[in-house]
Amino acid sequence: MLMTLIDTWLATRRASGFALRNYERHLHRFAAFAAVRGEDHVRAETAIAWASQEATPGQRCRHFQRVVQLARYLHAEDPRHEIPPGRHFLGKRHRPVPYIYTQDEARRLVEAAAQLGPGKSLRPRTMSTMLALLFATGLRISEALALRIADVTPDGLVIRKAKFGKTRLVPLHTSAQSGIEHYLDRRRAVAGSDDHLFVSIKGTRLSYGGVRKAWRKVLREAGLPARSGGRRPRVHDIRHTFAVRALESAPDRRDRIARHMLAVSTYLGHSCIADTYWYYQATPTLISQVADACQRHFEGRRP
């Protein structure tokens, strides 16, 4: 019974555009845990016992909160479902500080990707073109890997069913458009029948696992060191870099800044402009711009 209720709740939320794959996996585990106890309703004690099995405070808090959200939904229809105390497990998931690439580092990464083996294969062209496209557009890696040849249009890239199920058009600079066309010329000559834009050595859709494996080699060849704490630059940090550079180019006037922010948010495919404003904390340049705007405001000048 509890498993069925969980699936109904997930279906309701997915209708609003949420994927919830991790929610489904964890809540199904919770339902199985409750079933072993002979329970078909959410019990606070059971939720606490289940979440306590996780290895880290962050995992315990995160998984427990998913049960709390479920319980609030179910309790509205059936009071027999207990709502666990929301703050029983304290922990906060911190966003990792992004690595903002310099122009020189971006160039070295693309050049290192172009030197990948095996020789005469499509792999180096695929990786170098994909990384260059990410730096030029700020696409999510999942969006780049999902691109099909038909999504490359004269008006730009058609990003289909991205985060929250949205589709958007991403205009391209002429240099980016030209780079993709050169890649397609080579790709058509050696790749198979798969219609994905970026393909593996076997001619099938390039997987995220394949990208990660190649990325480690690219980082090493480009000579990018790990940061303090051992964290290495990530592929996703390319998207952060694009967003930060786009925000650094914002105009001075308040009305123009608002339009600029909305344009950047739309281009990146953010569902909420607050997600775009988060990037303002990423570099000293952006922080300085914010501080200068605040100073002008308090001095009575127009920001």
**Residues forming the active site:** 140, 163, 236, 239, 270, 279
Cβ-proximal residues to 84 (8 Å cutoff; 6+ apart), any chain: 42, 44, 47, 48, 64, 67, 68, 71
**Three-class DSSP labels, 225-278:** CCCCCCCCCCCCHHHHHHHHHHHHCCCCCHHHHHHHHHHHHHHHCCCCHHHHHH
Cβ–Cβ < 8 Å for 133, 176: yes
Q: Which of 14, 57, 10 is nearest to 30 (CA)?
A: 10
Q: Which of 131, 155, 150 is nearest to 141 (CA)?
A: 131
Residue-wise DSSP of 8-31: HHHHHHHTTT---HHHHHHHHHHH
